[in-house]
Structure 1
Amino acid sequence: MLGLLLVFGVFAPSGEARRSDFKLGNEVFLEKYAYLINGKRVGLVTNQTGVNSQGKSTISVLAEYPHATLTALYGPEHGIDGKAKAGAYVESSMHPTLKIPIYSLYGKTRMPTAKMLENIDVLVFDIQDIGARSYTYISTLNYCMKAAKQNNKTIVVLDRPNPLGGTIVEGPVLEDKYKSFVGVDNLPMTHGMTIGELALFFNRNIGADLHVVPMEGYTRDMIFQDTGLRWVQSSPLIPDLQSVFGYAATGLGEGTGIFQADAFKWIGGKGIDSKKYAALLNKAGLPGVTFIPEKRGSAGGVRLKITNYHAFNPAKTGIYALAYAHSLNKFKVPKSGKTIVMFDKIMGTDKIGKYLSQGLSPQQIEANYAPQLNKFKQERKQYLIYN
């Protein structure tokens, strides 16, 4: 596979990685892989999360680098500063000091056009993901890889940690029919892959001239807290790591009346008895989390208290939270017809909706999606960079 050669054999040392050993892909880039951009015009896909361990932006690093020319910037959903609301249209603009274009990839187009790429030789990607399939930064990566392939450009992905870690892989695997910008490929809800590993996975169908610059001192069992990095708010509703971990656990109820609140730290809905809901969830033995009954206005629900971030399984928790909510208030499950409803796009299938309508327990739902999930776990092995 294109791009595998660059990362083959690059593994973190065995045993627990020490924070002093850890380096982001953007810190390894100019030390060891500068040849990929030397003498070339560079376009950078990034936002406010594209910083090194010292907090310096990759925009500044590349703008100051004397052996290449930064000629264009590209921003994903929420804009290059991460401040636009979810789903909000973002206009292209001009960088105030560098006087180079900032092309919006969440405006008139979500894929870089030939015109947007005409003044670059290499496209570099440096954005922090949160480890969930429906978070659109990985969709932007996929679209940029496709655009690079179509326009004969090299694409370089500067690897970053999956904040949820690299061992927990969970949820229904997306089916082709349900591909969208909130589900760009056949991934489960939480995939346990870094942005670089995802790029290699995506490239099985794209065939771009892809190079992944790996991290150093990173192992699969590391969650974001183990890196020693400071979390940079990745979007308006993901201000901190509690929100990162809560996203897939509380944000799955699109169109059901089961909703998240307090930046993905609470889940509930009308007609739910908070105490019964908490009791069901606490009895389920979900790892690394306890549920505190908490009413919000007319809605009953629970606050998630994550007790062990390494053990916590966000997507599994989300499936259980939805199934138990349905058992309590029998919410109407959204169903796809000629158009596919957002609920099924988020799930990556219409099967979860059907299981909920049938009154299946969360354990039964989990058992039903397990075969496809296990198949994915085997497939993903060939795209993993770190031990």
Structure 2
Amino acid sequence: MKRKIIYTFLMLFIFSLAGYNNVFGKNKIDLEKINVASNKQWKIKFNRKLDVSTINKGVTVVDSKGNNIDVQTEVQDNTLIVKCPKQGYKSGETYFIKMNNNLKSVKKSFLDKDYILKFTIEKQEKFKLGDDRLLTEYNYLIDGKRVGLVTNQTGVNSQGKSMIDELANYKKAEFNALYGPEHGINGQASAGDYVKSYIDEKLKIPVYSLYNDTRMPTEDMLQGIDVLVFDIQDIGARSYTYMSTLNYCMTAAAKYNKQIIVLDRPNPLGGEIMDGPILEDKYKTFVGVDNLPMTHGMTAGELAKFFNRKINAELVVVPMNGYKRNMIFQDTGLDWVQSSPYIPNITSVFCYNATGLGEGTGIFQRDYFKWVGGKGIDSDNFASLLNNANLPGVTFIPEGTPSAGGVRLKVTDYHTFNPAKTGIYVLAYAHSLNRFEVPKSGERIIMFDKIMGTDMIGKYLEEGYTPQHIEEKYRVELEKFKEERKKYLIYN
């Protein structure tokens, strides 16, 4: 005689849309939930321990059209866990989890009928950047004022229109000055090259370089404006200097009594993965202006709020609309605008911290941060060490050059890939293979320690620490940062 497994559903946070037909015909919907998060993980508890071997045939997930959805399932004793798809559930779509009598307990008791859970994913608000909202919802911030804009070629709205052009055509404010970061307004200057100030021939306004004799706006540069607007796309790495320019602009705004408005943009690496050593005060420079880990998981607006705990500028952040912490750049629907000469695409953004940490060590990157290696390294051994470390979201392909051994990175899952952690493993394993000389700071702090934000990583490498041991060494301070940053977050 069939023995029915009694079950209950736990931890359901959801919402529904009317008008969907039941894809299972006349079968009864046993539970329906609406407004479900797109990354929802279901836990379904039964009164008996489940037979893992029956899950694949006994549990299916389909959408409103009856298409099967590829999801991973897991069993913990009497609890069935149905994970979300890799890219999450689609906004506004309805799904069904069907459990049939192929699903059995370890004692071979099984369901007496099909049970169906129906859930509908919350509709996400239309994604908007901060600059999409400035001239409509937040125009009161600049109306009747003299405006200066800190930007470059990345300062475009969701339609790809330059914020320079948008402000130039906006009649309710006076557009009086432009300010450009490293690489210049057009992003063409090489890394480290000084950029000259000049007068824009079309707009007849000054274009002040913030990567020249000064990297902070001077009193003269700010004299003709009431408010400073910041609109630059970052790449989510502490050593990338665009957010350093933001910090310096906030400092100048506070010093000269100017309001600063940050038009928020996404962290392309997402808002959840943070890793690497925390920068120590001694190592604050333009490639690391505050006590952040290598990757911080914060947007430009959130970083501005974090910076402002010490600066106390008159800060306003124009937030994005429809942005979630679990979104990486690919989830926004935006096109990537080359942010600097060596960051032409989104893969380079993700690989920047994974391959670019070897300043002064002889471990170098190629192909826009997609390859890393050095002299005296056996490519196969290097790849084997890295692949055996099971780093999330990436595999390593052995690939040498005529003068160096190395690996090419293949990002397999951009949502789980951890650039800074990967970079620490790359350096540690490279050192174990060729024993490169670790750069050391003396009276002058060398770039390697500036990038690391500490001299401890170099010491750990010299002492032969494994990457796992190095991780443990910086973990305590990293966890403190994760708690501290919560006060400055804007998005759920």
TM-score, normalised to structure 1, is 0.96
Larger radius of gyration: 2
Give the aligned CA root-mean-square deviation in angstroms: 1.0
1:287 counterpart SS class: coil
Match for residue 237 of structure 1?
A: 342
Pairing partner for 2:198 from 73, 93, 100: 93
Which protein is richer in strand relative to its size?
Answer: 2
* AA matched with 2:407: V
Equivalent positions of 1:10-49 (< 5 A) are 15-16=37-38, 21-49=126-154
Pick from 111, 116, 126 the counterpart of residue 216 of structure 2: 111
Deviation track 1:151-175 (CA, whole Å, cap 9, x = no partner) reads 0000000000000000001000000
The code of the aligned residue for 2:178 comes to: L
Q: 1:105 to 1:266 in 2, by over 3 A?
A: same
Q: Secondary structure at the match of 2:265?
A: coil
Deviation string 1:270-318 (CA, Å, 9 cap, x unpaired) is 0000000000000001000000000022110000000000000000000
Query: How far does residue 32 in structure 1 lie from its aligned partner after superposition?
Result: 1.4
- Say which is worse superposed, 140-149 or 19-28, in terms of deviation: 19-28
Task: Flag as ranges the 4+ runs of structure 1 deviating above 2 A.
Answer: 13-20
- Which amino acid in the other structure matches residue 61 of structure 1? E
CA–CA separation in structure 1 for the residues paired with 2:36 and 2:402: 50
**Cα deviation 1:94-132 (Å, max 9, x = unaligned):** 112101000000011100000000000000000000000
In 2, Cα distance between the equivalents of 1:19 and 1:97?
40
Q: What secondary structure is seen at the aligned counterpart in 2 of 1:312?
A: coil
**Structure 1 contact 131–192 (Cα < 8 Å) conserved:** yes
Match of 2:470 in 1: 365
Point out the structure with the larger helix share. Answer: 1
What pairs with 1:208-247 in structure 2 (closer than 5 Å)? 208-247=313-352
Residues 1-387 of structure 1 correspond to what in structure 2 (within 5 A)? 15-16=37-38, 21-387=126-492
Task: Confirm or deny: 8 A CA contact 1:19 1:228 kept in the other structure.
Answer: no
Q: CA deviation at 1:14?
A: 7.4
Counterpart residue type for residue 321 of structure 1? V
Aligned length: 375
Q: Secondary structure at the match of 2:136?
A: helix
The whole-number CA distance in structure 1 between the counterparts of 2:138 and 2:360 is 46
- Change beyond 3 A, Cα 1:107–1:144: same
The CA distance in 2 between the partners of 1:96 and 1:80, in whole Å, is: 14
Distance 2:307 2:125 in 1: 31
Query: Partners in 1 of 2:402 and 2:228 — Cα distance?
Result: 48
Q: Percent identity?
A: 72
Q: Is the 8 A contact 1:123 1:156 kept in 2?
A: yes
Distance 1:15 1:116 in 2: 47
Report if the CA contact (8 A) 2:336-2:346 is conserved: yes
1:171·1:369 contact (CA, 8 Å) conserved in 2?
Answer: yes
Q: Which has the higher contact order (CA 8 A, sep 6+)?
A: 1
Unaligned runs of 5+ in 1: 1-12
| Runs (5+) with no aligned partner, structure 2 | 1-34, 39-90, 92-122
Q: Secondary structure at the match of 1:148?
A: helix
Shift of 1:260: 0.5
Q: Which amino acid aligns with 2:128?
A: K
Question: Are residues 123 and 335 of structure 1, via their aligned partners in 2, closer, same or farther at CA, if it must alter by over 3 Å?
Answer: same
Of 18-27 and 106-115, more deviation after overlay is shown by 18-27
Alpha-carbon separation, structure 2, partners of 1:52 and 1:145 = 22
Whole-Å separation in 2 of the counterparts to 1:94 and 1:290? 48
| Contact in 1 for aligned 2:272/2:297 (Cα 8 Å) | yes
- CA displacement 1:191-247 (0-9 Å, x = unmatched): 000000000000000000000000000000000000000000000000000100000
SS of residue in 2 equivalent to 1:317 = helix
Partner AA of 1:72 in structure 2: A
CA distance in 1: counterparts of 2:428 and 2:402, whole angstroms: 22
3-state SS of 1:70 partner: strand
| 2:454 partner SS | coil
SS class of match (1:131): coil
Partner amino acid for 1:319? I
Deviation at 1:19, TM superposition (A): 7.4
Tell me, in whole angstroms, the C-alpha distance in 2 between the residues paired with 1:225 and 1:331: 37
What SS class does the counterpart of residue 31 from structure 1 fall into? Answer: coil
- Determine if contact 1:19/1:226 at 8 Å carries over to the other structure: no
Q: Tell me, yes or no, if the aligned pair for 2:125 and 2:321 is still in contact at 8 Å.
A: no
The CA deviation at 1:20 is 6.7
Q: Deviations over 1:133-190 (max 9, x none)?
A: 0000000000000000000000000000000000001000000000000000000000
Q: Matched residues in 2 for 1:232 and 1:19: separation?
A: 24
| SS of residue in 2 equivalent to 1:77 | coil
